[in-house]
Structure 1
Amino acid sequence: MAEPVDPSLADAELTAFIEAVRRDPGPPARAVGAVELRRAQRVRAEARPPGPEIAHVEDLTVGPTAVGARLYRPSAAVRALVVFLHGGMWTIGDLESHDRACRRLALRTGAAVLSVDFRRAPEHPWPAAVDDCVDVLRWAVAGGGAGTGIAGPTVVMGDSSGGNLAALACLRLRDEGGPLPAAQILVCPNTDLTLSRPSTRSMATGWGLTTDDVAWGAEQWVPDPTRRGHPEVSPLHAVDLGGLPPTVVITAEHDPLRDEGDAYAARLAAAEVPVRHRREAGMIHGFLTLDTLSPAAAAAGERVFADVTDLLDQVN
């Protein structure tokens, strides 16, 4: 049984949302499948209010393998490029599902945002998504954005499974000896696909995202169960986290992925990587896209954007 919602840690709107999901959680992801989950997500995205107006939005392809992406530029002169990797259990999520979040991010930080349309499972299992994200980051760090009027440092930001991809891409680039992003921002990241941390049990149901849905996504992306604890898919299992760029890790109190995100932040700090880590009280997984539902979630998202802004001030 999920613990009661503490209204002092969230707000009435988020509390009502959680209670509604508990009354009618709907069928599990493994019973629905990726195609229907994507269709339902598109319907929800279309029902949300559109994101704020922004000076320039352009769909394009980038890098040597022509990965699809959407560029948001809030003004003619931008201070940096944020490569954004969306969440969605490696199987859903796309440029539309996180369009509003990317617009808010660009406007709040003054940076250009490049949202990456990487390949998804089950059609494209691991390592396809990592390959796409690494290609885009190589292109961006090497100055690929100059052709679109972008100057300044490149940072990478990932939400949920996108946080997993951001962490894996940075580890691969470090191991290759190539240039790294100036920083990484990981929001509610998947870091351990074995799903063996205590919060995956204590918050397995009742908080929106279920541990079984995450397990299904991991199965689609990494079909071989013996590989899910490998560092190439679970960054928390990397032997060495030294040499990675300055990092922000944000976790949510009521999230089955909370403990693995907290543990990754602790391991980064132990490896002497500069880390800012915050656990958002009262929040659930995916709060970054719940701003139209809950003022508390919107405020938590604003704090993440402030973290990005502070990090850009440091690396500029």
Structure 2
Amino acid sequence: MEDVHGPDGLPLRHYRPSEQARPLMVFAHGGAFVIGDLETHDRTCRRIAHACDVEVLAIDYRRAPEHPYPAAVEDVTAVLRWARPAAVAGDSAGGYLATMGFLRLRDEGDAYARRLARAGIHVTHRQEPGLEHGFIQNMDLTSAEAAAAHERLFEDIRTLTRRAR
């Protein structure tokens, strides 16, 4: 793990599962756009990197209220342009930012996935019925259902990033 700086000095954290280069996934942390940072999601990013054999570049985007909307979307968009990742993901608010940053679209969920698919972009869209919002953040420690959902997510990421190898 290495703390680095991206566009305009934006703080980033780069996780590498090995010395050999791997496909890159950009990750935006959750936290309702006002809390959360590289530290709160460190374990999640380490787990993704190792479970999926990918490099993870986590973004410490600008948060409200000091930096109102659309500052965080602009940060994520800048990192996506700069890093050119094979995949992008996020937790909770970070999922929204990842989506907005990737195509700067406001579509959500199923409609967004259908739109990407119609545009010829390979999409893996998954909903996890019965799991609470934000389940990705450590719920695997106490919930077998969340742990199984994490494994499905990891397999989705591995599948998507294999195409980039």
State the TM-score, normalizing by the size of structure 1: 0.49
Rounded to whole Å, the distance in 1 between the matches of 2:111 and 2:13 is 32
Q: Deviations over 1:185-233 (max 9, x none)?
A: xxxxxxxxxxxxxxxxxxxxxxxxxxxxxxxxxxxxxxxxxxxxxx5xx
RMSD of aligned Cα (Å): 1.8
Aligned partner (choices 5, 9, 15) of residue 66 of structure 1? 9
Q: What is aligned with 1:166?
A: 98
Letter aligned with residue 42 of structure 2: D
Question: Do residues 273 (structure 1) and 118 (structure 2) align?
Answer: no
Q: Would the aligned equivalents of 1:81 and 1:155 in 2 still touch at CA under 8 Å?
A: yes
User: Which residues in structure 2 correspond to 1:42-191 (within 5 Å)?
Assistant: 57-63=1-7, 65-141=8-84, 154-172=86-104
Alpha-carbon deviations, 1:276-305, whole Å to 9, x = none?
222223212111111112122111111101
**SS class of match (2:18):** coil
For 2:4 and 2:45, the matched residues in 1 are separated by 16
> Structure 1 counterpart of 2:113, which letter?
A
Distance, in Å, in 2 between the alignment partners of 1:111 and 1:58 is 15
Kindly provide the amino acid, as one letter, of the partner of residue 92 in structure 1. I
How far off its partner does 1:271 sit? 4.2
Question: Structure 1 residue 315 and structure 2 residue 164: aligned?
Answer: yes
Distance in 1 separating the partners of 2:10 and 2:100: 18
Ranked by relative contact order (alpha carbons within 8 Å, sequence separation 6 or more), the top structure is: 2
Question: What does the per-residue CA deviation read over 1:124-143, in whole Å, with 9 as the maximum and x for residues that have no partner?
Answer: 011211221122222212xx
Rg (Cα) greater in structure = 1
SS in structure 1 at match of 2:37:
coil
The correspondence for 1:305, drawn from 142, 151, 154, is 154
TM-score, normalised via structure 2 length: 0.89
SS where residue 160 of structure 2 aligns?
Answer: helix
> Alpha-carbon deviation of 1:272?
4.2
Specify every segment of 5 or more residues in structure 1 that has no aligned partner in the other structure, as ranges.
1-56, 142-152, 173-230, 237-259
* Superposed displacement of residue 78, structure 1: 3.0
Consecutive unaligned residues in structure 2, runs of 5 or more: none
Report deviation, 1:170: 1.8
Give secondary structure in 2 for the equivalent of 1:276: coil
- Identical-residue share of aligned pairs (%): 52
Deviations 1:155-202 (A, max 9, x none): 221222212211222224xxxxxxxxxxxxxxxxxxxxxxxxxxxxxx
